[in-house]
A and B are shown apart, each in its own frame.
Chain A
Amino acid sequence: MAAKTLTIDGKQISAFEGATLLQAAEEAGIKIPTLCHMEGVYDVSACRLCLVEVAGVSKLLPACTTRVSEGMEVTTDSERLRKYRRMILELLFAERNHVCAVCVSNGHCELQTLAWTHGMDHVRFDYRSPRWEVDNTHPRYGMDHNRCILCTRCVRACWHIEGAGTKNVSGRGVNSRIISDLNQPWGSSDTCTSCGKCVDACPTGALFSRGSSVGEMEHDRQKLEFIVTAREKKQWIA
């Protein structure tokens, strides 16, 4: 495979042809914030946190789906990008009801962590405070739509790692909602294998193992990576 030479944040690096900017940056030890990206499933560039500046391109490009090319000059961190990223996070916090203090994922939440790493000490937009239900019909897992950020990592994990195809998105805009099967209570799903991959994929406390109380829930993200690496590369991550 041919290699491409490019610059990320002033650092000369080389990456395999076909690699994404996100992969290239990671290889070079440069961290680009992500939320809808997850190793093991394809990328959808929906959260827009990984947008980067590329010299000569007027639009911002998502690092997760943009491929490296020769001579590319990439900036992953600028005042403008920081401002946009913080706003994206504020919009997410204002969109549904994220109450960190009483969340099962408190302290292990990607959204919460991104907020403080991006200097979000308060949300400038008015909280929309919509009313969302909690689906506790599954014997082992629960879904609290109040905490869902619609990253669709659960959907992709369900379809492409487990192959069950239970999870999907219904509705549109702010009324979009993660559903099980034909928009029915999760517990009544015929296709759910109760594997829990969706729970492990969830960046927030939207999907949780039942029985965990505030701050007790930790997602086992390594499990997903383990399965995917084992499957695709026949390697067993120790």
Chain B
Amino acid sequence: MIIDDLIEIATKERASRKKFTIRCCMAAGCMSSNSEAVKKGLETAVKEAGLDELVEVRGVGCMRLCCQGPLVQVDPAGALYERVAPEDAASVVGTVKGGQTQAQRGDPNSPFFTGQFSIVLANSGCVDPERIDSYIAADGYKALHEVLREMTPKEVVDEIIKSGLRGRGGAGFPTGLKWGTVAKTENSHKYVICNADEGDPGAFMDRSVLESDPHSVLEGMAIAAYAVGAAQGFIYVRAEYPLAISRLQTAIKQAKERGLLGSGIFESPFTFNIDLRIGAGAFVCGEETALMMSVEGKRGTPRPRPPFPAESGLWGCPTLINNVETFANVPSIVRKGADWFASIGTEKSKGTKVFALAGNITNTGLIEVPMGTSLRQIVENMGGGAPDGGSIKAVQTGGPSGGCIPAASLDTPVDYESLAKLGSIMGSGGMIVMDDTTRMVDVARFFMEFCMDESCGKCVPCRAGTVQMYHLLSKILARKATAVDLRKLEELCDMVRNTSLCGLGQTAPNPVLSTLRFFRNEYLELLGPEVHGPNGEANATPS
């Protein structure tokens, strides 16, 4: 494979395009509402109407508005159809000939779509994730060619540093710095790992990227591997994502066949292979040190850092671990330049962020917006607010490690620092909207139960502390708790956050702390009378 081959593939692919394209969403959301049958129906209808020469039916990745799936779009007219049933297929195909369809029309010009700014999801809903040529036609693997043939590894690292890209897994560590650290280590063996163990309740960004545009992740990983000097990569993907796994397998196979993975890529000395590792159902394996243990085939428990994976990771070798979305940003940064990327977003948070909108919100689905977009723009304008005229009470970001942001703070811009200031975190991008019927203590207990179930059990504060916090929250909800219990809960929050071994435990108290901060009254209302000591003190028990 040389660049001419790549261009030829792209040219051929584009030339094969037909006058009309009917895109049908084949990501897990729409597939769960029967889009596979819709796509089959569309293909049959095209055949039966003798429109083979004119119409292409393309299975694509996520088209964003998951709640209205299956989604189908007819181009070039740009007509979007929602909740398409297999029996609508014939009439939808008929529209290319000016026919009418009973299928529900969607509005591609609604704020949900126009508010989006796509970098990571640029190909999502456009390319066929199961065909590498479709990705190549969308400038795919051009960035990899550019770095291999025209840039030194150091230049690649510098470019990523300059772009200001920060880790999209949640913590927001500067990606370029991480790459630079791994690149600087002198070791004959290094690894690149893509963390696709997305586990936050309500989060489906990474799944959508993998299902919709797996090659962008592979290309990003290959660029990273070149930059840091690694020859082997792993994608650690959770077993609960069978479609993502299958698409990744297909993508890796096709990339190898095309010579875009393997040895001597683009006739350079660069060799890079990617293997999949499937998780076994533990949330904690999304924590990088636990993830590496799992990749090594060991019990997935975290270990203290330092040493950081960049120094001593997989099998003791320097290892670069980034999240799916981080890697998916990389090809665009290389192709369009660091300055272009840095011009998007805020001063400290560059680029865009993908969010999975879920919960009590009208438009459930996937959005990508520039960093710094306000929560209000996201949930009220794009998300359409709470359904059935309810009002939004809070927005939960960051999953079990995050917090609940009250409606009063909806004007907060979405960036790493602003969300942290509110006691939440950017997290990987799950955004759960809650309306006024939600009881915040319930929410806190839900997340605590999640952390308790997912604690690996290695360190005492997380293992035994989450259990006690869950117990205290249950006691409060059962109206059997007093102010003494609430104090105990707060003490535990402080202790578990400061003494736990890994991020899971350190952030497990966040949902409690943030609901206590903004919705303390809801806790107080549930407290019962205290048994008083002789001097009227509420807690005679010395602590």
Contact = CB atoms under 8 A, between A and B. Distances in A.
User: So, do A and B actually touch in the complex, CB under 8 Å?
Assistant: yes
Interface of A: 44-48, 51, 59-60, 62, 65-66, 83-84, 87-88, 91-92, 94-95, 122, 124-126, 128, 149-150, 168-169, 171-176
A84 B498 contact: yes
B467 A174 contact: yes
A84 B499 contact: yes
B460 interface: yes
Contact of A124 (B498, B500, B541): B541
B interface, by DSSP: helix, strand, loop or mixed?
helix
B464 A91 contact: yes
Contact of A94 (B453, B464, B501): B464
A48 B454 CA distance: 19
A104 B491 CA distance: 33
B93 to A, nearest CB: 51
Contacts of A83: 495
B463 interface: yes
Contact of A91 (B454, B460, B498, B501): B460
The 3 A-B residue pairs with the shortest CB-CB distance in the complex, in nearest-first order: A176-B457, A91-B464, A173-B455
Given A46-B501, A48-B500, A128-B471, A91 B461 contact: yes
Interface string B263-302: 0000000000000000000101000000000000001000
Given A87-B491, A173-B454, A174-B452, A125 B468 contact: yes
Given A45-B304, A48-B461, A173 B456 contact: yes
A48 B464 contact: no
Specify the main secondary structure of chain A where it touches its partner.
Answer: loop
B499 A45 contact: no
Interface in B449-500: 452-461, 463-468, 471, 488, 491-492, 495, 498-500
Given A84-B499, A168-B299, 5 more contacts: A45-B459, A48-B500, A149-B460, A172-B456, A175-B457
A94 B468 CA distance: 9
Contacts of A66: 304
Contact of A95 (B454, B464, B488, B495): B464
A189 B328 CA distance: 48
Contact of A84 (B282, B284, B466, B495): B495
B543 interface: yes
B294 to A, nearest CB: 12
Nearest to B470: A174
B303 interface: yes
A91 B462 CA distance: 10
A174 B303 contact: no
Nearest to A150: B457
Interface string B481-524: 00000001001100100111100000000000000000000000
A47 B462 CA distance: 10
B468 to A, nearest CB: 5
A232 to B, nearest CB: 20
A48 B282 contact: no
24 contacts: A44-B458, A45-B459, A46-B458, A46-B459, A47-B460, A48-B461, A48-B500, A48-B501, A84-B495, A88-B460, A88-B499, A91-B464, A92-B464, A94-B464, A95-B467, A124-B541, A128-B467, A172-B284, A173-B456, A173-B467, A174-B455, A174-B467, A175-B457, A176-B457
Contacts, number: 93
B488 A125 contact: yes
Contacts of B282: 172
A235 B473 CA distance: 54
A151 B5 CA distance: 58
B445 to A, nearest CB: 16
B464 A47 contact: no
Looking at B457, B465, B488, B500, the one whose CB has the most chain A CB atoms below 10 A away is B457
Contacts of A128: 467-468, 471
A45 B303 CA distance: 8
A170 B498 CA distance: 26
Contacts of B492: 87
Contacts of A87: 491-492, 495
Contacts of B455: 172-174
Contacts of B471: 126, 128
Contacts of A174: 452, 455, 457, 463-464, 467
B219 to A, nearest CB: 35
B247 to A, nearest CB: 29
Nearest to B471: A126
A83 B463 CA distance: 18
Given A84-B495, A91-B465, A91-B468, A48 B460 contact: yes
Nearest to B541: A124
Contacts of B460: 46-48, 88, 91-92, 149
A171 B459 CA distance: 14
A48 B468 contact: no
Nearest to A49: B460
Contacts of B465: 91
Nearest to A151: B460
Q: Most B CB atoms within 10 A — which of A46, A88, A92, A94?
A: A46
Interface string B516-543: 0000000000000000000000000101
Nearest to A67: B306
B464 A171 contact: no
A171 B458 CA distance: 11
Contacts of A169: 299, 457
Q: Which of A51, A60, A83, A84 has the most CB of B within 10 A?
A: A84
Point out which of A94, A168, A172 has the most chain B C-beta atoms below 10 A from its C-beta. Answer: A172
A173 B453 contact: yes
Interface string B45-58: 00000000000000
Contacts of B491: 87
Interface in B424-462: 452-461
Contact of A150 (B463, B498, B499, B541): B463
A174 B460 CA distance: 9
Contacts of B466: 173
Contacts of B454: 172-173
A123 B465 CA distance: 13
B470 to A, nearest CB: 10
Contacts of B453: 173
A29 B114 CA distance: 67
A125 B463 CA distance: 14
Nearest to B469: A125
A51 B499 contact: yes
